[in-house]
Amino acid sequence: MSTGTLTHDDDAAARPRWRGPIGFARARFGAWLQGRLPRTDTLLLTQGNVYILPTRAGLAFGITLVVLLLASINYQLNLGYVLTFLLAGSGAVTMYVTHATLRGLTLHLKPLVPVFAGDAAILNVVLTSPGSARFGVGLKVADADIATLSYVDVPAGGQAPAQISFVPRRRGVHALPALSTETRFPLGLFRTWAVWRPASELLVYPRPERPAAPLPQARPVPGGPTQMRSSDGGEVEGVRGYRRGDPLKLIAWKKAAKALETGGELVSRDTSASAHQELWLDWQACGTLATEDRLSRLAAWVLGADRVGSDYGLRLPGRTIEPDSGEAQRRRCLEALALWR
């Protein structure tokens, strides 16, 4: 399997570079064709949806054949005829072979994982070949540059995973861009391709603010339990960011490792802070920022609060999420931010 290391920018795709009226007409025609395709998460490539055309190399091959044929005629070389016709026959046969490389394949899109706007969304596609092995099958976003093709070989009667990545720019729920799969195997004389519009929709969280603004102050819960816990040795109540001078035994290593992995800082056990404080991430606390920037800041705060591991709640105009912690809370908050309007 192979991973597409190059990502595709969907803004660039949204603005195709037209060259003259013909380019415009082609782009419109392409868009119309794509619009006709049904959306599905599992696509069986058949005679009906796989297209084939000769490549530029294929045309050059044709010219080579004409030159060889002329030489054979003029020098009356029977072996020249044999060579020319062998190449012509092989070339013609690759039209079938190239088409058969895609035909019969099943493309299946695995469940999508939400991403942040501006980050690469990875689409995991599984290719299944019921029959023979398929070589050099490339996948990419349909409008993307050919260099972004990520290639995969599918074993006979087996499956192969492939990954396509693209970068969503805006938050919200997005339909996936049309994907395309193509191959030029075996001789590169023909290019056969299919366009696929997956049905799944991608949830895109707001782009988190970078660098993140400091988290707002947590406030004690009015009316909550008030007794203090012993500051050393007792149960652990919470964690806070590492402060210079914290003893090593105070560092929450497991959490710290996780936090470091996601780009955070060391985390110390907070034996003095209490679980009775809660952190509210408030729309109103973002000052005078524009809507999207507020959402970005809130997203960054959600990530920050989640990293520190404290309980946090989210207040948006018209929606409030009660304080909680953990993966579910994080997802709930980010989803709310992604879908807020």
Partner 1 sequence: MALTLSPFAPWPGWRYLPREARDTLFLLGVIGWTVLPHMLHLPVWCTLLTVVVLLWRARLALSNQALPGRWVLVAVLIVAAALTFWSFRTLLGKEPGVTLAVVLMALKTLELRARRDAFVIFFLGFFLVLTHFLYSQTLLVATAMLVAVWGLLTALVLAHMPVGQPSLRIASRLALRTALYGAPIMALLFVLFPRIGPLWGVPRDGISATGLSNSMTMGSVAEVAADDSVALRVRFDGPVPAPESLYFRGPVLSRFDGIEWRPATPGFDFARGQAWASSANLRVSGAPLGYEMTLEPLRLATVPLLEAAAGAPAIEGYRINGRDDLQWVADRPLLERVRFHAEAYPSFSYGPTQRTLRLADQLALPSGYNPRTLEWAAALRRDPRYANADARALAQALLRHIRTGGYSYTLAAGEYGRDAIDEFWLDRKAGFCEHFAAAFVVVMRALDVPARVVTGYQGADPLPVDGYYVVRQSSAHAWAEYWQPGIGWVRADPTAAVAPERISRTRRLAPPPGLVAGTLGTLNPELLAQFRAGWEAVNNRWNQWVLNYSRGQQLDLLKTLGVQSPSWEDLTLLLIGALSALALGGAAWAWWDRHRVDPWTRQMDRLREALRSLGIDAAVPDTPRALAARLRERYGTNAQGLAALLDALERQRYSRASTPRPDAGLTRRFVGLARRLRATAAV
Nearer to partner 1 by C-beta: 50 or 305?
50
Question: Does 155 participate in binding partner 1 (rule CB under 8 A)?
Answer: no
How does DSSP assign 42-74, residue by residue?
EEE--TTT-EEEE-HHHHHHHHHHHHHHHHHHH
CA dist., res. 289 & res. 297, Å (int): 9
Question: Does 64 participate in binding partner 1 (rule CB under 8 A)?
Answer: yes
Candidates 6, 37, 88, 289; binder of partner 1 (CB under 8 A) is 88
Q: Are 161 and 124 in contact (CB under 8 A)?
A: yes
Q: Which two tokens stand for residue 157?
A: 């009667």
Candidates 14, 18, 89, 291; binder of partner 1 (CB under 8 A) is 89
Nearer to partner 1 by C-beta: 46 or 284?
46
Antiparallel, parallel or unpaired: β 312-316 and 277-282: parallel
Question: Does 97 participate in binding partner 1 (rule CB under 8 A)?
Answer: yes
Output the smallest distance, CB 218 to partner 1, in A. Answer: 48
Question: Does 199 participate in binding partner 1 (rule CB under 8 A)?
Answer: no
Candidates 45, 61, 123, 337; binder of partner 1 (CB under 8 A) is 61
172 forms bridges with which residues in the sheet?
204
Nearer to partner 1 by C-beta: 157 or 326?
157
Which residue shows structure tokens 């492939």? 162
279 forms bridges with which residues in the sheet?
312
CA angle 178, 181, 187 (to 5 degrees): 155
Question: Does 12 participate in binding partner 1 (rule CB under 8 A)?
Answer: no
- Which span sits near partner 1 by CB under 8 A: 30-38, 80-88, 169-177, 278-286? 80-88
Q: Report the candidate in 247, 273, 270, 251 with the shortest Cα–Cα distance to residue 260.
A: 251
Task: Please report, as residue ranges, which positions from 267 to 296 form the binding site for partner 1 (by CB under 8 A).
Answer: none
CA dist., res. 115 & res. 9, Å (int): 14
Question: Does 86 participate in binding partner 1 (rule CB under 8 A)?
Answer: yes
Nearer to partner 1 by C-beta: 97 or 126?
97
Nearer to partner 1 by C-beta: 85 or 242?
85
- Which span sits near partner 1 by CB under 8 A: 7-15, 86-94, 259-267, 297-305? 86-94
Question: Does 38 participate in binding partner 1 (rule CB under 8 A)?
Answer: no
Strand, helix or coil for residue 235: coil
Question: Does 51 participate in binding partner 1 (rule CB under 8 A)?
Answer: no
Question: Does 148 participate in binding partner 1 (rule CB under 8 A)?
Answer: no
Q: How far is CA 231 from the centre of its chain?
A: 46
Nearer to partner 1 by C-beta: 34 or 128?
128
Question: Does 136 participate in binding partner 1 (rule CB under 8 A)?
Answer: yes
Question: Does 2 participate in binding partner 1 (rule CB under 8 A)?
Answer: yes
Question: Does 185 participate in binding partner 1 (rule CB under 8 A)?
Answer: yes
Strand, helix or coil for residue 215: coil
Candidates 13, 27, 37, 83; binder of partner 1 (CB under 8 A) is 83
CA dist., res. 339 & res. 318, Å (int): 13
- Read off the DSSP letter of residue 4: -
Q: Report the candidate in 297, 110, 271, 99 with the shortest Cα–Cα distance to residue 212.
A: 297
Q: Report the candidate in 161, 77, 86, 165 with the shortest Cα–Cα distance to residue 119.
A: 165
Output the smallest distance, CB 46 to partner 1, in A. Answer: 6
Candidates 72, 165, 268, 296; binder of partner 1 (CB under 8 A) is 72
**301 sits in which H/E element:** helix 291-308
Tell me which residues touch partner 1 (CB under 8 A): 2, 44, 46-48, 57, 60-61, 64, 67-68, 70-94, 96-97, 103, 130-131, 135-136, 138, 151-153, 157, 184-188
